[in-house]
């Protein structure tokens, strides 16, 4: 499980673990809880170009469908096939085995939040 205090967050409830020029991306436990039981995950293809703020996938639950937004401009280097096969991982381990995609990026966008800023956003 990633250290939540070391992550970056988006206002759309994605988290990023930045390691060099690769960002591992998932949805936060707050988002997973609001969605309910996740039953389907649709992710972009490896080598897809993604643009910050644009929809790149979907996370579907028994209650609703949530869009996955790219938090950075870049190229998808890896998708988590384990989550596609077992979407409940988004609920049970959102910061670990429930990660969604990895993106190679050149620069982090403005507007990413730190841990305390994100907690304030969601009222935690």
Can you give the pLDDT at residue 50?
Answer: 97
The tens digit of pLDDT for each residue in 50-96 reads 999 999 999 999 989 999 999 999 999 999 999 999 999 999 999 99
Q: How confident is the model at residue 124 (pLDDT cuts 50, 70, 90)?
A: confident
How would you list the strands of the sheet with 14-19, edge to edge?
A: 8-9, 14-19, 22-27, 101-105, 74-79, 49-50
What whole-number percentage of the chain has pLDDT above 90?
90
Domains of the chain: 4-106 (2.40.50.100)
CB half-sphere exposure, 64, CA atoms < 13 A: 8
Can you give the pLDDT at residue 54?
Answer: 95
């Amino acid at each position: 499980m990633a250290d939540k205090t070391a992550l970056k967050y988006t206002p759309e409830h994605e988290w990023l673990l930045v390691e060099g020029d690769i960002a591992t991306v998932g949805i936060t436990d707050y988002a997973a809880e609001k969605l309910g039981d996740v039953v389907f995950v649709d992710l972009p293809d490896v080598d897809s170009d993604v643009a910050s703020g644009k929809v790149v996938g979907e996370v579907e639950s028994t209650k609703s469908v949530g869009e996955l937004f790219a938090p950075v401009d870049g190229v998808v280097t890896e998708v988590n096939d384990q989550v596609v096969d077992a979407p409940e991982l988004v609920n049970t381990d959102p910061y670990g085995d429930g990660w969604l995609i990895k993106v190679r990026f050149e620069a982090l966008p403005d507007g990413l939040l730190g841990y305390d800023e994100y907690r304030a956003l969601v009222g935690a």
